[in-house]
Amino acid sequence: MKLKIHVTMSRAELESESLLAYLSERGVHPELFLDGNEIETITEDEIFRMGEKLAKLDLLPITIHAPFEDLSPGSSDETIRNISLDKILRAVRIAETIPLRGVVVHSGYSDWHFDFNVEKWLDKAAPFFSALCDVALMLKTRIFVENIFEKNPESLLTLKEKVGAENFGFCFDPGHAVLFSRLPPVTWVKLLDGHIGEIHLHDNCGTRDEHLPILEGTLNFRGIIFAIKEQGINPVFTLEPHTVEHAKRALANFSKLIDEIYGEPFEEIY
């Protein structure tokens, strides 16, 4: 069994030959994050050249983290929904040129923003994510919906049921769960019931979204990853540091943790 290990990278970081070589030596693939402006300025030629470079280093497929700031898949405002759909579909359509394991999309739901009316959000969000999944399916990739402010997985599971697409999955972020939910992350893993396609790995100390290297905050990553193992699933494991130094420490910590839990090294790590 080989794990699928990714690390979040910016558009600028993907230009670094030394950083890409470092990842290539360790079999760690990029998760490219593009913000709302970058997704409109990146050209087809740039994407093509990016794919060629990654292919030469055996760093394909990758994952994409779609834009999220100011976007709202479940907005009652049609203009905002259409702008959100256009920007996120641009991220999905990168799969026309570069093979993608999946595209991470923020759910956009919070109780306070939608006046504790999850049905109001679902009424608009379900068709939105259905449209994303339809395009993603044609391009042979998946949509991973990420928890942000959700207090429990119920709204996400209902969304999955309403969308009903085979390529709809979850990107579970335990760092967000610790900050915004009273349920332990291990409980989230169990309730998401084998539908986790990707997990974001970053740590915090319980007060803000610090994106520390794992095992350098207070999250119980041993329990989280053991719960993943117990479910018999093999999601994309994406390290989400905010600096290169943190990325290197996160990878070292993750490698030790995986060796401890699974009892064997993985070629994707070493």
User: Where do the structural domains in the chain lie, given as residue ranges?
Assistant: 4-261
pTM, two decimals, is 0.96
Residue 2 burial class via C-beta count within 10 angstroms: exposed 0-12, middle 13-18, buried 19 and up: exposed
The 3 state secondary structure assigned to 57-109 is CCCCCEEEECCCCCCCCCCCCHHHHHHHHHHHHHHHHHHHCCCEEEEEEECCC
Q: How many CA atoms lie within 13 A of 143 on its CB side?
A: 30
Q: What size, in residues, is the chain? A: 270
Q: CA–CA separation, 252 vs 18, rounded Å?
A: 18
- Report the distance separating Cα 65 and Cα 62, nearest Å: 10
Q: Is 177 helix (H, G, I), strand (E, B) or coil?
A: helix
Q: CA-to-CA distance for 49 and 102, rounded, in angstroms?
A: 20
Q: CATH homologous superfamily for 4-261?
A: Divalent-metal-dependent TIM barrel enzymes (3.20.20.150)
Residues 102, 237: contact at Cβ < 8 Å?
A: no
User: Which tokens in the block code for residue 11?
Assistant: 């558009």
The structure tokens listed for 214 are 């794992």
**Residue 218's pLDDT is what?**
97
Q: Which two tokens stand for residue 25?
A: 């030596």
Instruction: Tokens for 70, please give them.
Output: 């100011």
Q: What is the pLDDT at residue 65?
A: 98
Other C-beta atoms within 10 Å of 140: how many?
Answer: 11
Tally Cβ neighbours within 10 Å of residue 212.
Answer: 21
Q: How far is CA 226 from CA 25, 146, 173, 182, 187, in A?
A: 26, 20, 15, 20, 12
d(CA 54, CA 81): 33
pLDDT tens sequence for the chain (270 residues): 689 999 999 999 999 999 999 999 999 999 999 999 999 999 999 999 999 999 999 999 999 999 999 999 999 999 999 999 999 999 999 999 999 999 999 999 999 999 999 999 999 999 999 999 999 999 999 999 999 999 999 999 999 999 999 999 999 999 999 999 999 999 999 999 999 999 999 999 999 999 999 999 999 999 999 999 999 999 999 999 999 999 999 999 999 999 999 886 544 443
